[in-house]
Amino acid sequence: MYGRKASQLVKELSSSEKGQLKPFNDDLFNQVIKECSSHHVGLQALFRNMQEEGLDIQTTRNADFYGALIHHLSLTRNKRCLMAYMYNRADVIRSLRWKLGRVLPNELVMKLSNSEKEFSKGYSATLDAYMNEMNLDLTVDMVPPKDPYIQVRVLDDIGEVLLTDRSANLARYSMHFLKRTDAEQYICQVCCSLKLLIFPGLINSSNQSVALILLTGFNGGTLELTNGVNPVHAFLMGIRRLPS
Amino acid sequence: MESEPGSSDKPSNGMDDFETLISTTDVELLRRAWRNEKAAPEILRFETNLIDRVTGQLQLMEETVDDFVESSIDPLTVSLYQMDLDRTQFLLRSYLRIRLQKIEKFMFHILKTNELHDRLSKQEKNFTRRYSEVIGKHLEESVLLNLPDNYQSLIRQSTTSEEDDMVPEPQMDTFVVCKAREYVGPSELQDSNKSLASDLLMEMEPGELFFIPFKRIKKLLENGKVDLV
- Alpha-carbon distance B90 to A184, whole Å? 13
- What distance in Å separates residue B1's CA from the closest CA in chain A? 8
Q: Write the pLDDT tens digit of every residue in A69-89.
A: 899 899 989 999 999 999 999
Mean pLDDT (chain B) is 82
CATH 1.20.58.1030 residue spans of chain A: 4-134
Sign of torsion, CA B141 B143 B147 B151? Answer: negative
CA A38 vs CA A72, A86, A148, A231: distances in Å: 11, 21, 61, 41
Does some domain include residue B141? Answer: no
Residue B225's domain comprises 171-229
Q: Domain count for chain B, please give it.
A: 1
- What does the pLDDT average to over A13-38? 88
Residue B121 within any structural domain of the chain: no
Rg (CA), chain B: 22
pLDDT: which is higher, A21 or A56: A21
User: Does residue B162 belong to any structural domain of this protein?
Assistant: no
- Provide the Cα torsion B133, B135, B138, B140; round to 10°: -70
B81-100: pLDDT as tens digits: 888 888 898 999 999 999 99
For chain B, the residues whose C-beta falls within 8 A of a C-beta of chain A are 1-3, 5, 55, 69, 79, 82-83, 86-87, 89-90, 92-94, 96-97, 100, 104, 123-124, 126-127, 130-131, 133-135, 137-139, 141-143, 146-148, 151, 157-158, 160, 166
User: Does residue B209 fall inside a structural domain?
Assistant: yes
Decide if B84 is inside a domain: no
Which of B69, B71, B142 best probes binding to A when mutated, by most A CB atoms within 10 angstroms? B142
Residue A207, pLDDT score: 36
pLDDT digits (tens, 9 = 90+) for B16-36: 555 555 557 888 889 999 999
What is the ipTM for the molecules in this complex?
0.79
pLDDT-derived band at B202, boundaries 50, 70, 90: confident
Q: Tell which CATH classification among 1.20.1250.20, 3.40.228.10, 1.10.10.10, 1.20.58.1030 matches the domain A4-134.
A: 1.20.58.1030
Q: What is d(CA A56, CA A62) in angstroms, rounded to the nearest whole number?
A: 11
Sign of CA pseudo-dihedral A43, A44, A46, A50: positive
Size of interface A-B (CB pairs under 8 A): 114
B187 in any annotated domain:
yes
CATH number where B184 lies:
3.40.5.60
Q: Are A131 and A114 in contact (CB under 8 A)?
A: no
- pLDDT band at A229, cuts 50/70/90? very low
Asked if B202 contacts B180 with a C-beta cutoff of 8 angstroms, the reply is: no
β-bridge mates for residue A170, sequence order: A159
